[in-house]
Amino acid sequence: MSDSRVIPVPSSSPPSQSLVNALSRALSRREAKSARRRLTVLPQETVDFSSNDFLSLGTSPAYRGRFMTHLKNAPDSFPFAKELERFVADFHQAPTALLFNSGFDANVGVLSSVPQPGDVILYDELIHASAHEGMRLSRAGKRIMFPHSSAAGLRDALQTQINEDPSVRNGTKNVFIVVESIYSMDGDVAPIRDFIQVVDDLLPHQNGYFMVDEAHSTGVFGPRGAGVVQELGVQDRMFIRVHTFGKALASHGAVVLCGQETKDYLINYARSLIYTTALGFPFLASIRTAYELLANGETESLQVRVQELIRHLHTRLHSLRADQSVLFEVDHFPTSPIFSLRTSKPRQLAAFCQRNGFIIRAIMPPTIPEGKERVRVCLHSGNTEAEIEGLVQTIQSWLDQCELRSANL
Ligand SMILES: Cc1ncc(COP(=O)(O)O)c(C=O)c1O
């Protein structure tokens, strides 16, 4: 008699091999769509127009010196972490702060646990993958997308929920509005004040809660780099803010800024916080280093320098000449260090620039929607006008080559 629990294994193909084949086929599908990712190391002597090290703290002697001092005087990690949370909370004018191992973990932890059963989440269509991951795990009754950075879109989505559900209208159900302050791919700034107005107009029972991810504004925007929310002075209106340390702060990890009850709740319910080892002392020391530099005003000149370079690159990119044979458009929000060069041949443009010593990267689906392929250029305070000139001339050469090739067809 055969045992129904035993799955027969075809003799020609061992199971491990068929799994590997399935993985290879998935990779081939990505390859065919020019969407396969590879981990690459930047060659030396190349110019970085790609990383999110916007303040160039990763190579700053001031940062390194202060970091080494913290390391030498290493106290116990736990009191150091607690004191760091206090320091970061004060800097961001928040009631409390809770450290997470990464921005990904912070978004997953918050969104998977804070919305209660039946609550409603309204999210911007371009929010980060980590927020999607958190929402997927959450017990919220509804997750509704609204058009990117559209206050009118948020108003429509919210009004629909109010019309459909009396408990949203009477304040028994909570509504979470999930946005970023600066979007990672287009570098545009969210209209947070307009969003607040929508919530004030439509939810008089104060059951609207903002969750804002400041990953890309940290260090770069706002007073001493405190972020867009503090630039607008609306920190008291945000239920949760997430700041990450892996971008302009040249470190790793993230912090959730919130009220004391929310912090206590996360300590008890956020699984991405509970079931993982906390940040080690070197990371705590580097986060402390970055925040001391911010709080002392030592990064203000870097913020100013980035803005100078942004204006320079903005002007230079708009002087580029592109023939109709190749789609080429520059998308840029005036004060953001992130530039998006839309072209139908992003991989070719990125590869051409890389061969000429300028590291920029093609951004392909699924990171961005189909049809929105682009090359992303990020500026850093450590870039120079000469480097920018080199990049712009290289892009112009590529555009000229495309034009020539299409003329010869
Ligand atoms: C908007 C946004 N949120 C969260 C994250 C995740 O942050 P981390 O790299 O610290 O996991 C990123 C980037 O990776 C991001 O761009």
Res. 26: pLDDT tops 80: yes
- Between the CA of 164 and the centroid of ligand 1 the distance, in Å, is 34
Provide the pLDDT for residue 124.
98
Site to probe by mutation for ligand 1, drawn from 133, 184, 256, 283 as the one with most ligand atoms within 8 Å of Cβ, is: 184
**φ, ψ for residue 38, nearest 5 deg:** -135, 145
Q: Taking a C-beta distance cutoff of 8 angstroms, is the pair 102, 252 a contact?
A: yes
Residues 396-403, mean pLDDT to the nearest whole number:
90
Provide the pLDDT for residue 2.
43
Q: Tell me the pLDDT band of 1, cut-offs 50, 70 and 90.
A: very low
Report percent pLDDT > 70 for the chain.
Answer: 96
C-beta atoms surrounding 221 within 10 Å: 26
* Helix, strand, coil share of the chain (percent; to 5): 45, 15, 40
Residues 19-47, mean pLDDT to the nearest whole number:
87
Res. 252: pLDDT tops 90: yes
Please state, in angstroms and as integers, the Cα–Cα distance from residue 51 to each residue in 182, 184, 358, following that order: 16, 12, 12
Residues 194-200, mean pLDDT to the nearest whole number:
98
**Structural domains in the chain, sorted by start:** 35-55+300-408 (3.90.1150.10), 61-295 (3.40.640.10)
Average pLDDT of the chain is 93
pLDDT, tens digit (0-9, with 9 covering 90-100), for 103-140: 999 999 999 999 999 999 999 999 999 999 999 999 99
Q: Residue 52 carries which DSSP code?
A: S
Which pair of structure tokens corresponds to residue 243? 């700041």
Pairwise CA distance, residues 5 & 15, whole Å? 16
Pairwise CA distance, residues 325 & 373, whole Å? 17
Provide the pLDDT for residue 7.
58
Res. 9: pLDDT tops 70: no
Pairwise CA distance, residues 97 & 88, whole Å? 7
pLDDT, tens digit (0-9, with 9 covering 90-100), for 63-82: 999 999 999 987 777 799 99
Atom of ligand 1 at shortest range from CA of 254: 10
Atom of ligand 1 at shortest range from CA of 130: 4
Atom of ligand 1 at shortest range from CA of 183: 1
Q: Tell me the pLDDT band of 325, cut-offs 50, 70 and 90.
A: confident
Q: Ligand 1 pocket: which residues have CB below 6 Å?
A: 102-104, 107, 128, 130, 180, 184, 213, 215, 244, 246, 254
Which pair of structure tokens corresponds to residue 291? 């925040």
Atom of ligand 1 at shortest range from CA of 180: 1
Site to probe by mutation for ligand 1, drawn from 53, 123, 130, 213 as the one with most ligand atoms within 8 Å of Cβ, is: 130
Provide the pLDDT for residue 10.
57
Task: Compute CA 105 distance to the chain's CA centroid, rounded to the nearest angstrom.
Answer: 13
Sequential DSSP letters for 103-155: HHHHHHHHHHHSSPTT-EEEEETT--HHHHHHHHH---SEEEEE-TT-HHHHH
Please state, in angstroms and as integers, the Cα–Cα distance from residue 149 to each residue in 46, 178, 195, 260, 337, following that order: 35, 11, 9, 30, 19
**φ, ψ for residue 108, nearest 5 deg:** -65, -45
- Between the CA of 93 and the centroid of ligand 1 the distance, in Å, is 22
Provide the pLDDT for residue 38.
85
pTM of the model: 0.92
Site to probe by mutation for ligand 1, drawn from 127, 128, 220 as the one with most ligand atoms within 8 Å of Cβ, is: 128
Residue with the smallest CA separation from ligand 1 atom 5 is 103
Question: 134: phi > 0 → left, psi -120 to 50 → alpha, else beta; which?
Answer: alpha
